[in-house]
Structure 1
Amino acid sequence: MSASTFPPSRLSFAARAVSVVCLAWAGLSLTVHSGPAVATVAPGTAQVAWLPAAADADIEKAFAQGKAEGKPVLVYWGAKWCPPCNQLKATLFNRQDFIERSKSFVAVSIDGDLPGAQKLGSRFKVRGYPTMILFNTDGAEITRLPGEADAPAVMNVLQMGLAGGRPVKTVLAEAKAGKPVSPNEWRMLAFYSWDTDEAQLVPEAERAPLLAQLASSCPATEAETATRLLLKALAGQAEGDPKAKPVITVDAALRERVKKLLADPAATRSQMDVVVNFAPSLAEALAPKPGADRQAMVAALDAALVRLQGDASLSRADRISALIGRVELARLGQPKDTLKPKLPEALVKQVRDESARADKEVTEGYERQAVITSVAYVLGQSGLWKDSDALLQASLPKSHSPYYLMSQLAGNAKKQGRTAEALSWSEQAFNKSEGPATRLQWGASYVAALVELAPQDEAQIEKTVAQLIREADGQQGAFYERSARSMQKVGDKLAAWNAKGQHKAVVERLRAQLSPVCAKLPAGDSQRASCDNVLKKA
């Protein structure tokens, strides 16, 4: 996730609540029904007994507890500023049914800014916030929970995993080999968090073909599961290498099949997260070229999103994500960097109205961090840049992580060519950022902004990079996972900045400052190699 910009139709995906979930605990015939909101707990009442972890010893203790008590272990990896993490806190972790089920597992929370958190990220192969992994009592990974699905669906997958679920690698291998796989295991594959897989099961480039293979292999009795796998494969096909051979042959019959699903409110609701998060990709996959087929597919998707946008059983974040999907559909065929897209007036009015409503009604801190950032994004995507800026600036004093909003303000200004303002907001965001890993990430974003927008400002670039090196020197895990990527981003930007050797003296001074930092790291530690590589290209 970038510190400065994001597609909230993906990022506001976290744990959606407010539907009643009918869980047949014994038989695991788990179905989700729209309806009244599931009760949440008030602050200060019963909560999940999270075990904070910042080192391997904490994890070993949690696994030892799970083994002794015969309980699986659920690891949650997140950050204070992260909008979807805040949405999880607002709509899943505070649900009474989730809190009750948490007694069946050992709940471990890893804050990405704790001293040893990035090393743990390397251990579990997690990068994106949030990531949730369920392990069995032997420490094998059962599944990665789908933060992009709504809360009832997450509860569904969690319960299937708690009921003796086999490791996902075993299930996938048997499904690919044509061996018997239970209906619940097929559902777990369909709801697996492929976006946070980090190549644990399959390289990203091979994901769409794998999902297509699973969709075709899924038993006819599991039509809903097969449809989910197919839709995800189609979205992946559209977002992959445009030169790659399509893994799914799209014809009129397939388009009609998807349009029939989109016209069915119950079917659309069951595939809500896929439809909301991948609407433009689905339109492009099913109708690659502009024309009548594309127009018909966009119309069908938009109609489904309109229903989801008005579905009171969905969280506000999901409803806004549906609105974002509609705006992105309306932008298809226009240049992606269009500042003032041509959109239906009624749609623009809905964006304005939803923005005002959200600003007025969303007061809970976690939910606001998730919702307001998404609303500000869709305002910009609709060409309402002044409205987006005004909302973000008015929300700064209400946010527990205002630096995230400052990064969005920097992104808005940059897109509109307001260079000085973009640099100012980016600098403020870095200065206000909190937490060791977060500061490296925001600092790297500021360096990138300086190199791109003010390459002549050698003094400020050197000063900022030197500060990041000093901060990295004082951290335990500055060259693990996200932090390592932040520092490497700095190195890559400096390499581009100094491509012709015009800033060689600055780079040499920075290299001299970094070298002793790297020398302190053990030769056999992966951090040492990461540190040594930071300025190698520069």
Structure 2
Amino acid sequence: MASAIEWQSGDLGAAFGLAASVGRPLFLYWGAGWCPPCNRLKADVFSQPEFAQRMRGLLPFWLDGDAAGAQALAAQYKLRSYPTLVLYGADGREITRLPCELDGELFLGALDLALGAGHTAAESLQAALGNTRPLADAEWSLLSLYSWDTDEGQLLPAAELPAVLARLAAACPPDGACADAAARLHLHAQVAAAGRIVGDAPAGNASASAAQAAAAIAAAADRLLRVFGDTRLARANMDILVNSGVNLIKWSGARQAELVQALDQAAREFAADSRLSLGDRLTAVRLQLRLVRLGGPSADAAELVRSSVAAALAEVRDPYARHTLVNTAVSALNDAGRADEAEALLQAELPGSHSPYYFMLSLAAAARRRGDIPATLGWYEQAWRAAVGSATRLQWGATYLVSVIDMAPEDQPRIEAAAQEIARDISAASDAYQQRNRTHLQRLAGKLAMLTVPGPQAGALQRLLTANL
């Protein structure tokens, strides 16, 4: 972690008590050492002097997913995805969850907005939905910059997200700062809806309903074009566009050629923006390549990826920045049809990486794509045995055993050895059945139940999981 910041760790309850006693908000970072987005945060946000300066007025707390009891705390505070960033008031109330994928400059702006908030995100949401009072521009901005991806039902059940976000976007005043908030809320709503146009259900006869649906689709496409085609607005929503822009176009159902052209231009501007990290700029280059499949400009796109990867890798040496850069580079090379180069890059990075076991999972996935079962299982096993941290080891042990059952169910000695070791890891962990651990063990329990004649160790592990999940 960034040395300029005095991160607290250990007893979260005591940290809340300290925050209350000194009258400081608490900034919570939930993450793991191997997680690429976490490493991006460390390199691009936490390392900034401006961020460290703001932390001097707060109580920064680092909850490592592999710390003792961390998964139980995560369940209590509704944390799951790595990373999750939460700002609490000195009184312990949750103010908001911050989007981790904003670039450093925009993240600081979102943090400042949250620090100056007169209401929590929950209070603003309740007022907006109940129409009990008009929201200030800053409140609309706070809701648009809320990390809905990591909400975990804290503000809204997942099933309600599409409709509620669409209502918020429609209720946001269409001018000034609120126009920007409305645009981002519409993007959030469309991503949450996975392509469905969310709004009031069409009424009347079938032809009227069809016309209303067509009008809603056209309006959604118009909104996308406004965001894609506005340099400032596209940059403000770059996190959504690079991750979900291709799907937003696929789902639009209208004016796709225009949308592809506009997003391709935005991606080119992102890739040339010197304010962005090389990792973020490479993500933009990857977006250009993905747009080719929807009819975007194809001239030398694959070679652009290859040259951009080489240039970025030659320059980036910081271990956190390089970890996330390599992860992006591997995805980009695979998208460009250069799977051999992606695998070679992963192999080359293993000796110098601070989390080589993460890249071993990627090597397992590469072997699986080419149908090499021994190599797939070999890399999964290496990743498990090299993993650092009790939760990571437990989760990746479960991933390994699930893969063995899927790909080599007849290999009883291998299944038995892994089952025995995983059972020991479960017994040693105080929060084996909590949060991310629980998710992985539930999947493993389902796979163990599929074994026709489980061995004694596999059978014992299945009974253990059945009794506790």
TM over 0.5: yes
3-state SS in 1 of match to 2:46:
coil
The question of whether the paired residues in 2 share the 8 Å contact of 1:287 and 1:297 is answered with: no
Distance 1:402 1:260 in 2: 42
Find 2:189's aligned residue among 233, 236, 251.
233
| Equivalent residue, structure 1, for 2:248 | 282
Residue 53 of structure 2 is matched in structure 1 by 100
Greater shift, 203-212 or 109-118, is seen at 203-212
Q: Distance in 2 between matches of 1:389 and 1:440?
A: 26
Provide the residue aligned with 2:282 in structure 1. Answer: 320
Structure 2 match to 1:388: 342
Q: Give the whole-Å Cα distance in 2 for the aligned partners of 1:253 and 1:128.
A: 32
Hey, what does 2:160 align to over in structure 1? 206
- Residues 88-487 of structure 1 correspond to what in structure 2 (within 5 A)? 88-178=41-131, 179-221=133-175, 222-238=178-194, 250-287=216-253, 293-332=255-294, 344=298, 346-487=300-441
| 2-structure distance, mates of 1:421, 1:396 | 16
**Equivalent position amino acid for 1:72 in 2:** P
Distance, in Å, in 2 between the alignment partners of 1:262 and 1:220 is 18
Are 1:212 and 1:248, in contact at CA under 8 Å, matched by a contact in 2? no
SS of 1:181's equivalent in the other structure is coil
**Aligned twin of 1:73:** 26
Structure 1 unaligned segments of length 5 or more: list them. Answer: 1-42, 334-341, 519-529
User: 1:343 Cα deviation (Å)?
Assistant: 9.1
Q: 1:510 aligns with which of 444, 448, 458?
A: 458
SS of the residue corresponding to residue 75 of structure 1 reads: strand
- Does the 8 Å contact 2:231/2:266 carry over to 1? yes
Residue by residue over 1:125-163, the C-alpha shift from the partner in whole angstroms, topping out at 9 and shown as x without a partner, is 101100111111221110011102122222222222222
1:431 Cα deviation after fit: 1.4
Distance 2:60 2:31 in 1: 13
Q: Distance in 1 between matches of 2:306 and 2:393?
A: 33
User: Partner residue of 2:210?
Assistant: none
Map 1:482-493; keep pairs closer than 5 Å: 482-493=436-447
Q: Report the Cα offset of residue 205 of structure 1.
A: 2.4
Once the two structures are superposed, what CA deviation does each residue of 1:304-331 show, in whole Å capped at 9, x if it has no partner?
1111111111112221222232233333
Q: Does 1:61 align with 2:14?
A: yes
Tell me how far apart the structure 1 counterparts of residues 230 and 25 of structure 2 sit (CA, whole Å): 37
Which amino acid in 2 is paired with 1:532?
A
Secondary structure at 1:220 match in 2: coil
Instruction: Give the Cα separation in 1 of the matches to 2:88 and 2:114.
Output: 9
Matched residue type, 2:190: L
Residue 236 of structure 1 deviates from its aligned partner by 2.3
2:294 and 2:15 map into 1 onto residues whose CA distance is 48
Cα deviation code 1:81-120 (max 9, x no counterpart): 0011111110111111111111111111111111111111
- 1:24 aligned partner: none
Distance in 1 (alpha carbons) for counterparts of 2:389 and 2:95: 31
Amino acid at match of 2:37: P
Rounded to whole Å, the distance in 2 between the matches of 1:480 and 1:258 is 40
Instruction: Judging by fraction of residues, say which structure has more helix.
Output: 2
- Superposed CA deviations along residues 478-509 of structure 1, whole A, max 9, x for unmatched, are 111111222222112212x32xxx22x42x54
In the alignment, the residues of structure 2 paired with residue 430 and residue 304 of structure 1 have an alpha-carbon distance, to the nearest angstrom, of: 40
Do 2:183 and 2:227's aligned partners in 1 also have CA atoms closer than 8 Å? no
Q: Could you tell me which amino acid in structure 1 is paired with residue 321 of structure 2? A: E
Distance 1:103 1:402 in 2: 33
Preserved CA contact (<8 Å) 1:49 1:107? yes
Asked whether the 8 Å contact 1:276–1:322 carries over to 2, the reply is yes
Question: 1:472: how far off?
Answer: 1.2
Tell me, yes or no, if the aligned pair for 1:79 and 1:112 is still in contact at 8 Å.
yes
Q: Is the 8 A contact 1:331 1:343 kept in 2?
A: no
8 Å contact kept, 2:357–2:384:
yes
Asked if the contact 1:479–1:531 (Cα under 8 Å) also holds between the matched residues in 2, the reply is: no
The CA distance in 2 between the partners of 1:332 and 1:204, in whole Å, is 29
Instruction: Tell me if 1:47 matches 2:1.
Output: no
**SS of 1:154 mapped into structure 2:** helix
Any idea what the Cα deviations from partners look like across 1:391-433, whole Å, max 9, x if unmatched?
1111111110001101001111111212222111111111111
Question: How many angstroms apart in 1 are the aligned matches of 2:377 and 2:168?
Answer: 47
Conserved in 2, the CA contact under 8 Å of 1:73 and 1:105?
yes
**What letter corresponds to residue 271 of structure 1 in structure 2?**
N
Tell me the CA shift for residue 248 of structure 1: 10
Offset at residue 186 of structure 1 (A): 0.8
- Distance (Å, rounded) in 1 between the aligned partners of 2:214 and 2:439: 34
CA distance in 1, matches of 2:31, 2:197: 30
Whether contact under 8 Å (1:488, 1:533) holds in the other structure is: no
* Number of residue equivalences: 455
Check conservation: 1:465, 1:490, Cα contact below 8 A: no
Q: Contact (CA 8 Å) 1:469, 1:514: kept in 2 or not? A: no
Determine helix, strand or coil for the equivalent of 1:468.
helix
In structure 2, the gaps of 5 or more residues are 203-212
Cα 1:284–1:205 change in 2 (3 A) is farther
Instruction: Report if aligned partners of 1:235, 1:285 keep a CA contact under 8 Å in 2.
Output: no
CA shift in 2, pair 1:422/1:320, >3 Å = same
- Note the C-alpha offset of 1:282: 1.3
Aligned partners of 1:416, 1:200: CA distance in 2, in Å?
A: 41
In 1, distance between residues paired with 2:185 and 2:122? Answer: 17
Equivalent pair of 2:419/2:457 in contact (CA under 8 Å) = no
CA contact (8 A) 1:77 1:109 kept: yes
Following superposition, the deviation at residue 239 of structure 1 comes to 5.3
Return the offset for 1:270: 1.9
Pair 427,126 (structure 1): closer, same or farther in 2 beyond 3 Å = same
- SS of 1:166 mapped into structure 2: coil
Task: Compare relative contact order (CA 8 Å, sep 6+) and give the higher one, 1 or 2.
Answer: 1
* Shift in CA distance, 468/87, structure 1 to aligned 2, threshold 3 Å: same
Structure 1 vs Structure 2 CA RMSD: 2.5
Moved more, 122-131 or 440-449: 440-449
Task: Note if contact 2:445-2:462 (Cα within 8 Å) is conserved in structure 1.
Answer: no
Cα distance, 1:225 vs structure 2: 0.9
Q: Is the Cα contact below 8 Å between 2:367 and 2:373 reproduced in 1?
A: yes
